[in-house]
Chains A and B, each alone.
Chain A
Amino acid sequence: METLRKIEVITPKRGMFDVRLYELWRYRDLILLFVRRDFVAQYKQTILGPLWFIIQPVLTAIMFYVVFGKIAAIPTHDVHPFLFYFTGLTVWSYFSECFTKTSGTFIANANLFGKVYFPRLTVPISIVISGLFKFLIQLVILIILIAFFSLSGIQQISIHWTLVLFPVYILLMAFMGIGLGILFSALTTKYRDLSFLLTFGVQLLMYATPIIYPLSFTSGKINQILRYNPLTSILENVRYSIYGIGQFDAIGLLYTACFTLGILVVGILVFNRVEQSFMDTV
């Protein structure tokens, strides 16, 4: 045992870049147990259980189909509007889930964090992983829908080789979601107003992302602004690689990757800073 002993010094403030990510590896079992807990606890008392993963996006896509497809009649190129919305929603909902859920890390776990120390980042990481399971289930539904639409001749599918980048898109969204989420969670410990801003901010962001319309539908200034949204290139590229609409945007993707990396680093640094003292402010 003697060799395992490690001298640790607790001081007022750790350095800005003293992040101790290696601790996460030691707590990897905890991350997986958190994922399991989220799953079990969330659906134990519901009748439909994980079916809610499917019901939610299907109903939303139907509603979008009626409102935006039929009433507003926003064009979706040659893609069937329902399929168009469902694709966008599947991708978007993973991002928004990562973002909103991780943004509550400190407030929702204040009680737990107040009693035991473990690397706080385990919580948002576990959220992103449980979100991934939910996303995969929805992805299966999407694949089934695509197969159905193409076999019944309603929709022409033209898979492009860039579809191999799909996992990269998902990873980018997960990192962007967690980066933004932990940044917000750190800031909301001090300034609670931000949590209100977040709820409707995410909603606004959804409309500022080409989910219910293709980017090519916009023009001029709005088109320019939409290109600053790092999610835009992901959605456009996903649709391009499945349906062959729009175009592959490599520069946009590079921009998204840089943005994601930046926000992730900033998020981790701020989160690391706040986790040392937040118990005194909540």
Chain B
Amino acid sequence: MEVIKVEQLYKQYRLGQVGTGSLIQDVNRWWYMIRGKEDPYEVITETNDRTTQAKRDFVWALEDVSFSVNQGEVLGIIGRNGAGKSSLLKILSKVTSPTRGQITLNGRVASLLEVGTGFNPELTGRENIYLNGAILGMTKKEIAGKFDEIVAFSGVEKYIDTPVKRYSSGMYVRLAFAVAAHLEPEILIVDEVLAVGDVDFQKKCIGKMKDVASAGRTVLFVSHNMEAIKNLCSRALLMEHGTIVSEGSPSQVIETYLNNRSKSDWGHTYTELEAPGNEFTRLKSIVLKPIREDGKLMITVKSSLEINISFWNYVEDLVANLSLHLYAATGECVFNVITQLPPPTLGVGLHHACCVIPKELLNTGVFYVSFMLVQDTAKPLFNFEEVLTFEVEEERENTNWHGKYPGFVRPNIDFKINP
């Protein structure tokens, strides 16, 4: 039985600042509408491609998306940031409405678009369970009935009457997920909950999702963790630039995804308006440059990789670190490096940082880079997720073995036979 049916879904966003233009556009729209004409701003031309700056004020986050999900299926949705996954989930969870098209849902939807939504730091764990449960659509009675189960699942029994602002981030997430996991909706939307928490908790989450699916309910699962998609999903969708480009078995779709992303370029430069970031910081550019003795611009296991980051800092006298994470294509973190300690103090303005990954460290394969700006070595101001992607190619001599060496790293470690 079809539980979700998405038909020719479109979503348009207005870009940039809403200023004096918006009133004029509104009046214009209204004028077209009363004359029974089509919306003049709904011309489909621009696809949502964050690598180039859009020339128009409007952008299509979703274009002609259609698919359906059957009862009991676990559908994985993958794609780069900005591919339209979040827009799709937001429409499915009724946070925003589509511009065109329609969705038919057969059953109650609950979404875990970031767990802990509506948690109030001043309230205790107990109070937050009730509040969060109610926000997610449960009645007080339903929550009370499951209260003990929720607390046991979260593993924070001892601190249930402590304000959650005193919780560690792990406890916080566990409690939040526990509430959401006990919603028992017919359709569960899960977005990146596995990115946090320890191994034990991840196992619990995955177990819960499997339970949900085996109980005949439907799960939509968005993740960058390819292993999780492979293990959990019965089917997968790949989204790019607001459209579905591939659909099928998870392993097949993941392969398409990895092949597509490895073709991406070695950096982006943003204008201050469209740059990713928040009120504390924005990213101006991140550029990767391979450094080789022969001077060729290619990334192989024998190239050093120079990553140049330029970012705007908006916080006065910021005691700042950058923390860079390098991920393998499958989602595992290969390493995390941070800038010098003690950290320097930065003024407001543009700053530059450079990271050199030595040659003969990384194995072949696709990697991606995220980094965050950290205040006082403890408080992340913004996490620039997946801002750079590259693929390390093979380069080897004097061997008859042509397969891929296993592992994420292939360091040049001294290892000799004494003949």
Residue numbers of A with Cβ under 8 A of B are 1, 4-14, 26-27, 29-30, 32-34, 36-37, 40-41, 44-45, 112-118, 190-191, 276-277, 279-281
Q: Could you say which residues of chain B place their CB within 8 Å of the CB of A116?
A: 93, 95, 111, 113, 117-118, 135-136
Contact of B410 with A by CB under 8 A: no
Q: Smallest CB–CB gap between A59 and chain B, Å?
A: 26
Q: Smallest CB–CB gap between B252 and chain A, Å?
A: 29
For this complex, 24 residue pairs linking A to B, each with C-beta atoms less than 8 Å apart, are A9-B104, A9-B105, A10-B92, A10-B105, A11-B97, A12-B99, A29-B139, A30-B134, A30-B135, A33-B131, A33-B134, A36-B131, A37-B120, A37-B131, A40-B122, A41-B123, A112-B117, A115-B113, A115-B117, A116-B113, A118-B136, A118-B137, A276-B97, A279-B95
Q: How far apart sit A133 and B108, CA to CA, in the bound complex (Å)? A: 34
Q: How far apart sit A216 and B261, CA to CA, in the bound complex (Å)? A: 77
- Once A112-B135, A117-B93, A279-B90 are accepted as A-B contacts, the answer to whether A7 and B113 lie under 8 Å apart by CB is no
**Residue A44 contacts which of B14, B94, B99, B122 (CB distance < 8 angstroms)?**
B122
Q: How far apart sit A32 and B135, CA to CA, in the bound complex (Å)? A: 11
Nearest first, the 7 A-B pairs at minimum CB distance are: A117-B94, A30-B134, A29-B140, A10-B103, A279-B96, A41-B122, A115-B117
B118 contacts A112, C-beta separation under 8 Å: yes
A12 contacts B101, C-beta separation under 8 Å: yes
Contact of B371 with A by CB under 8 A: no
Q: Smallest CB–CB gap between B96 and chain A, Å?
A: 4
Q: Could you say which residues of chain A place their CB within 8 Å of the CB of B114?
A: 115
Q: How far apart sit A12 and B95, CA to CA, in the bound complex (Å)? A: 12
- Once A33-B130, A40-B123, A116-B136 are accepted as A-B contacts, the answer to whether A280 and B96 lie under 8 Å apart by CB is yes
Q: How far apart sit A36 and B131, CA to CA, in the bound complex (Å)? A: 9
Q: Could you say which residues of chain B place their CB within 8 Å of the CB of A9?
A: 102-105
Q: Could you say which residues of chain B place their CB within 8 Å of the CB of A281?
A: 14, 18
Q: Smallest CB–CB gap between B254 and chain A, Å?
A: 27
Q: How far apart sit A45 and B120, CA to CA, in the bound complex (Å)? A: 13
Q: How far apart sit A109 and B97, CA to CA, in the bound complex (Å)? A: 18
Q: Smallest CB–CB gap between A28 and chain B, Å?
A: 8
- Once A33-B130, A190-B22, A277-B97 are accepted as A-B contacts, the answer to whether A10 and B135 lie under 8 Å apart by CB is no
Q: How far apart sit A167 and B226, CA to CA, in the bound complex (Å)? A: 61
Contact of B411 with A by CB under 8 A: no
B135 contacts A113, C-beta separation under 8 Å: no
A280 contacts B122, C-beta separation under 8 Å: no
Task: Kindly report which residue of chain B lies nearest to residue A45, judged by CB atoms.
Answer: B122
Q: Could you say which residues of chain B place their CB within 8 Å of the CB of A45?
A: 122
Q: Smallest CB–CB gap between A110 and chain B, Å?
A: 11
Q: Could you say which residues of chain A place their CB within 8 Å of the CB of B102?
A: 9-12
Task: Kindly report which residue of chain A lies nearest to residue B117, judged by CB atoms.
Answer: A115
With an 8 Å Cβ cutoff, the count of chain B residues facing the other chain is 44
- Once A30-B134, A116-B117 are accepted as A-B contacts, the answer to whether A5 and B186 lie under 8 Å apart by CB is yes
Q: Could you say which residues of chain B place their CB within 8 Å of the CB of A37?
A: 120, 123, 127, 131
Q: Could you say which residues of chain B place their CB within 8 Å of the CB of A191?
A: 22-23
Q: How far apart sit A115 and B135, CA to CA, in the bound complex (Å)? A: 10
Q: Could you say which residues of chain B place their CB within 8 Å of the CB of A29?
A: 134, 139-140
- Once A10-B94, A277-B96 are accepted as A-B contacts, the answer to whether A40 and B105 lie under 8 Å apart by CB is no
Contact of B30 with A by CB under 8 A: no
A7 contacts B14, C-beta separation under 8 Å: no
Which of A1, A13, A30, A116 is most buried by chain B, counting CB atoms within 10 A of its CB? A116
Task: Kindly report which residue of chain B lies nearest to residue A279, judged by CB atoms.
Answer: B96
Task: Kindly report which residue of chain A lies nearest to residue B98, judged by CB atoms.
Answer: A12
Q: Smallest CB–CB gap between A218 and chain B, Å?
A: 37
- Given A5-B107, A7-B106, A33-B134, 14 more pairs with CB closer than 8 A: A10-B97, A10-B98, A11-B98, A12-B98, A37-B120, A112-B118, A113-B95, A114-B95, A115-B93, A115-B113, A116-B95, A116-B113, A116-B118, A276-B96
Q: How far apart sit A12 and B365, CA to CA, in the bound complex (Å)? A: 42
Q: Smallest CB–CB gap between A49 and chain B, Å?
A: 13
Q: How far apart sit A277 and B97, CA to CA, in the bound complex (Å)? A: 6
Q: Could you say which residues of chain B place their CB within 8 Å of the CB of A279?
A: 90, 95-96
Q: Smallest CB–CB gap between B109 and chain A, Å?
A: 8
Q: Smallest CB–CB gap between B219 and chain A, Å?
A: 17
Q: How far apart sit A4 and B137, CA to CA, in the bound complex (Å)? A: 14
- Once A114-B95, A276-B97, A279-B95 are accepted as A-B contacts, the answer to whether A40 and B113 lie under 8 Å apart by CB is no
Q: Could you say which residues of chain B place their CB within 8 Å of the CB of A44?
A: 122, 163
Q: Smallest CB–CB gap between B390 and chain A, Å?
A: 32
Task: Kindly report which residue of chain B lies nearest to residue A5, judged by CB atoms.
Answer: B107
Q: How far apart sit A112 and B114, CA to CA, in the bound complex (Å)? A: 10
Q: Smallest CB–CB gap between A281 and chain B, Å?
A: 6
B105 contacts A7, C-beta separation under 8 Å: yes
Q: Could you say which residues of chain A place their CB within 8 Å of the CB of B107?
A: 5-6
**Residue B95 contacts which of A1, A34, A115 (CB distance < 8 angstroms)?**
A115
Task: Kindly report which residue of chain B lies nearest to residue A9, judged by CB atoms.
Answer: B104
Q: Could you say which residues of chain A place their CB within 8 Å of the CB of B137?
A: 27, 118
Q: Could you say which residues of chain B place their CB within 8 Å of the CB of A5?
A: 106-107, 186
A7 contacts B104, C-beta separation under 8 Å: yes
Q: How far apart sit A277 and B120, CA to CA, in the bound complex (Å)? A: 25
Task: Kindly report which residue of chain A lies nearest to residue B93, judged by CB atoms.
Answer: A117
Q: Could you say which residues of chain A place their CB within 8 Å of the CB of B97?
A: 10-14, 276-277
Q: Could you say which residues of chain A place their CB within 8 Å of the CB of B130?
A: 33
Contact of B258 with A by CB under 8 A: no
Q: Smallest CB–CB gap between B103 and chain A, Å?
A: 4
Q: How far apart sit A6 and B91, CA to CA, in the bound complex (Å)? A: 18
- Once A7-B106, A41-B120 are accepted as A-B contacts, the answer to whether A118 and B98 lie under 8 Å apart by CB is no
